[in-house]
Amino acid sequence: MTHTIRSTALLSASLAGLLLLSACGKDKPATPAAAPAPATTAAIAPTPAAAGTTATMPPATAGSAAAPATSVAAAPPAAPVTVPLKVAKLTVGSDVNSQHQVTHASSSFAASNKTIYASVATEGSSEGATLNAKWSYLEGQGQLVSNISQSIATDGPAMTTFKVQNPDLWPEGKYRVEISLDGKPVAKQDFDIKKS
């Protein structure tokens, strides 16, 4: 029985020495094994030291061969993504609702229609952009009817409404509304005025 205990102790000490020697002087990281052995939860009993040995090894514990844990700083929170403002849709009609949306889109109006609206749907965000609506009568020389600008600040979908009014009858013919965003043309729509 003492022979078996002594053999086990010598074998354990030899294995520990080989492991320590194999790790000495290695500058390159070891190639990772295909899959690490699963950790066991069973306690390992210490081996009694053999008579005549001078070095003793502490008992192995689960996870003692693992590399020391390193602290990784958490990444700072990502900045919110800002989507630039853009015109999504232009709608022309003769009436709007409380959300400034044209209720019935049309490309033809009666000469007696006093007010014509253009609803501009935007998406994205801006702390200060300028939307402009240029209304033109295209017959003959292409006469300017109205040129209106509005400043908008939004961080999501928005609706901006422009209107032109004529207390008299509109001249018959072709018209156009052109929308620009910060001076750049982004949308246009033609419409007709017909006899009442």
Residue 94: CATH number of its domain: 2.60.40.10
119 close to 105: Cβ distance less than 8 angstroms:
no
Residue 57 lies in a domain: no
Confidence of residue 3 (pLDDT cuts 50, 70, 90): low
Residue 8 lies in a domain: no
Residue 115 lies in a domain: yes
pLDDT above 70 (res 122): yes
Residues sharing a CB contact under 8 Å with residue 56, sequence separation 6 or more, in sequence order = 49
State the pLDDT at residue 24. 52
State the pLDDT at residue 35. 47
What's the whole-model pTM score? 0.58
184-194 and 115-123 beta bridge pairing: unpaired
Least confident of 29-38, 66-75, 139-148, 179-188: 29-38
pLDDT above 90 (res 175): yes
Residue 167 lies in a domain: yes
Q: Which range, 2-11, 60-69, 134-143, 176-185, is most confident?
A: 176-185
Nearest of 109, 176, 111 to residue 139 by alpha carbon: 176
Residue 93 lies in a domain: yes
Residue 144 lies in a domain: yes
Number of neighbours of residue 170 by Cβ within 10 angstroms: 20
State the pLDDT at residue 43. 43
Residue 5 lies in a domain: no
Q: Residue 184: which domain range?
A: 86-194
Residue 49 lies in a domain: no
State the pLDDT at residue 82. 77
How many domains does the structure of the chain reveal? Answer: 1
State the pLDDT at residue 44. 43
Residue linked to tokens 């693992």: 66
Confidence of residue 153 (pLDDT cuts 50, 70, 90): very high
